[in-house]
């Protein structure tokens, strides 16, 4: 099993971040969104397999809770456990920011991501109707939560 390493995302990383983001999603985040997250002091992390960047994640934390805003593993690196290890790293960061719970939204059609979150211990707590833009119309989001306290 390869060793995944992490480092904080910087503005100079955004070209590679966007290449991965655009390869993984039909409606990817923009440079401006990532830049705003970096400048806002969110937990913005890169994941590396050896020296190759394979993914990234963004988490906001305040007032005892955190929100997983983005987690992306490039398509050719999926299915190797990288998503789980990146999620674990982001949950560790949430704990260091004194969060007691993490929330997220995931596209209802993104069964792979929802399965990852469920296997990690997230529970579905609701649904946001027509939350995400879709190729045709809009798509619901599943709202999930994970307790960071024992």
Residue 150: Cβ-neighbour burial (10 angstroms; 0-12, 13-18, 19+): exposed
Which residue of the set 21, 43, 117, 146 is catalytic? 117
Interval 20-34: pLDDT, tens: 999 999 899 999 999
- Please say if 117 is a catalytic residue: yes
Which residue of the set 105, 124, 131, 132 is catalytic? 105
Sketch the domain layout of the chain as residue ranges: 4-147
Residue 77 carries which DSSP code?
Answer: G
pLDDT of residue 3: 83
How far is residue 43's CA from residue 68's CA, in Å, rounded to a whole number?
9
Q: For residues 10, 36, 87 and 80, what is the CA-based torsion angle, rounded to 10 degrees? A: -60
Domain at 4-147: CATH code? 3.40.630.30
Q: pTM, whole model, 2 decimals?
A: 0.94
């Amino acid at each position: 099993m390869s060793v995944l390493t992490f480092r904080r995302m910087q503005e100079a990383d955004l070209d590679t971040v966007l290449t991965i983001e655009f390869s993984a999603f039909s409606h990817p985040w923009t440079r401006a969104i990532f830049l705003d997250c970096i400048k806002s002091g969110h937990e913005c992390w890169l994941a590396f397999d050896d020296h190759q960047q394979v993914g990234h994640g963004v988490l906001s934390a305040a007032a005892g809770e955190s929100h997983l805003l983005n987690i992306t593993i490039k398509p050719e690196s999926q299915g190797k456990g990288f998503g789980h290890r990146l999620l674990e790293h982001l949950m560790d960061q949430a704990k260091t920011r004194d969060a007691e719970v993490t929330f997220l939204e995931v596209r209802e059609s993104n069964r792979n991501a929802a399965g990852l979150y469920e296997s990690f211990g997230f529970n579905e707590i609701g649904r946001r109707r027509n939350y995400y833009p879709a190729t045709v119309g809009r798509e619901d989001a599943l709202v999930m939560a994970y307790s960071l306290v024992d």
